[in-house]
Chains A and B, each alone.
Chain A
């Protein structure tokens, strides 16, 4: 077998067993790996109506065929489970080194089932797999857990862990690896916590066999040249990281401020990628075999670590009205330590600030630093309180939708399917609104990054205010992304690489005969499988929508002034292109075409 080892681990925490099972090669090729393969296994094995925090839910950490190979950025893995935040299928992607190391240990994925009656961690060293007591690290933050475990596991192991937020089943809890890389979104860390699983450590010494070494060398050479010569992957991201977007999105007037009450932030320059590079950057912090190296390692006062990314800077910065980069770096640090999704945490604090602004929070609810827009102190303190579920932080830990709903104003949650929206105001970027509304894991930018054509002009520039052509572009971006998310490569390669490049890489590694269209078809198959699961889980097409504010309240000022998102004018065409019928349900014909 090439690209895949053909083996995976099934770990049952109720029974305390670890079994090696064989992976069917044809099934693997059809579903690619990562997000696709993990979702296929999940859908086949788990009742869609399962309580996401019950022992009956499963958690799958799955690599792609390119993970652990010499392919550029080939270090990614996916955490697939049912999300306790959204109730949808969740697949949360992470970089770093853990995914590649799992492959080196000889496994394509691990499936975690059941629930341990006490805190445990799983230690993997090639064929040796043990479920070990974790009571001594339960309650510890990410860095302390990682460093404590490193003293008792094989040298050079990689550690994936949850922090206190995951233990306390915060619906915004992330799964962390290498201390600062995160499978951040959709509350996947809470599922790990619900199973009393603190960490999975892995060390491996095997090589991933590939179908055609010579062909792969050529394909990698071509792709590396494209990555190096592309302005975004060759210059922009290496020099500034993702934070360079702060000024771009803000100049377009699509940088949400104060919980999306306006969309251009006067303090943007103080939280820009340019400023981060000038004042706080210590070094680059690249993932496995990454020629781009967008990861940042920063320091402020006595705090240092990985990040912050653009989305994080916006969530704690513009969305909370804070223009203090030092405070944002600290909030990001505490998200990593607590094991929290930075997007949902920052935006939930922003939602709480609006509740307070509207007089809905009484002082006795606060128990800490006042939740006021612009408060640098508040974003740091409330991140810690959310992580520990202290005071109002207990309600905030379940995300902005449940928080705002508890105060009778769910419409103040800027979320789709209860997952918080990221850093682009869809009133000023119409196609991104369609992408948000139809994302299979709720509010998310990396399920179809329409910012690329609508703002960055990649692969070509679209008018961000126009409605025409946004449906087909959104569909293509979603399908393309689903393939990349399954391959084991980083989504950022797609700034430089096209579908035929991924096909060539897949063929050289796996020994298949895929072309660019095949890449999109495989992605479409995955997207539809997720949709079918969500419908069976009770997520109705009526939830393919945006917060009322973004559909009805015009942006008050700046270059996008006067706009709302016109979702209803794009959605019917999108459904039609997807073959989902006017009711948003995949037709039997389309499912048959895709081999579902």
Chain B
């Protein structure tokens, strides 16, 4: 199944902005960040289809995962 991964800020360095990848059923955001070589502590905000996501949740075909390092402002 295909999952779209959107990376932001420093996580783009060496990885790109948007990746579409094929994964086996049952893949989780946790497995994806491992696959991308992103240390878990660098993931501050994780969204699945724009809503709060969980590292352990099972993803579905066509899901969009957005990953941010610690960033903020105002």
A residues apposed to B, CB below 8 Å:
230-232, 235-237, 239-245, 247-248, 251-253, 264, 269, 273-274, 294, 309-311, 445-446, 449, 451-452, 455-458, 461, 463-464, 491-492, 495, 558-560
Are A248 and B45 in touch, CB under 8 angstroms?
yes
Shortest Cβ distance from A37 into chain B, in angstroms?
Answer: 24
Shortest Cβ distance from B62 into chain A, in angstroms?
Answer: 14
B8, B17, B49, B69: most-surrounded residue (chain A CB, <10 A): B8
Given contacts A274-B12, A560-B50, contact A457 B45 (CB under 8 A): yes
Question: 1/0 per position for B8-41, CB-CB distance to A under 8 A?
Answer: 1110100001000000000000000000000000
Are B9 and A273 in touch, CB under 8 angstroms?
yes
Which residue of A236, A253, A560 is within 8 Å of B71 (Cβ)?
A236
Chain A binding surface, main DSSP class: helix
Residues of A within 8 A of B68 (CB): 247-248
Residues of A within 8 A of B71 (CB): 231-232, 235-237, 240, 244-245, 248, 456
Are A251 and B72 in touch, CB under 8 angstroms?
no
Residues of B within 8 A of A558 (CB): 50
A269 to B6 CA separation, bound complex (whole angstroms): 11
Chain B's interface size range is: 20 to 34
A-B contact sample (18 more), CB < 8 A, given A235-B71, A559-B50:
A231-B70, A232-B73, A235-B10, A236-B9, A236-B70, A237-B71, A241-B73, A242-B74, A247-B8, A248-B71, A251-B6, A251-B47, A252-B47, A274-B12, A445-B74, A458-B72, A461-B52, A492-B73
Across the two chains, which residue of chain B brings its CB closest to A273?
B9
A269 to B7 CA separation, bound complex (whole angstroms): 12
Are B9 and A244 in touch, CB under 8 angstroms?
yes
Shortest Cβ distance from A285 into chain B, in angstroms?
Answer: 15
Shortest Cβ distance from B38 into chain A, in angstroms?
Answer: 13
B residues apposed to A, CB below 8 Å:
6, 8-10, 12, 17, 44-45, 47, 49-52, 66, 68-74
Across the two chains, which residue of chain B brings its CB closest to A250?
B50
Are B50 and A245 in touch, CB under 8 angstroms?
no
Residues of A within 8 A of B10 (CB): 235, 239
Residues of B within 8 A of A491 (CB): 74
Which 6 residue pairs are nearest across A and B when measured between Cβ atoms?
A231-B70, A559-B50, A242-B73, A236-B71, A232-B72, A244-B71
A269 to B73 CA separation, bound complex (whole angstroms): 17
A560 to B51 CA separation, bound complex (whole angstroms): 8
Shortest Cβ distance from A452 into chain B, in angstroms?
Answer: 7
Across the two chains, which residue of chain A brings its CB closest to B42?
A231
Residues of A within 8 A of B45 (CB): 248, 455-457
Are A237 and B6 in touch, CB under 8 angstroms?
no
Given contacts A251-B50, A558-B50, A559-B50, contact A230 B8 (CB under 8 A): no
Given contacts A273-B9, A457-B45, contact A451 B52 (CB under 8 A): no
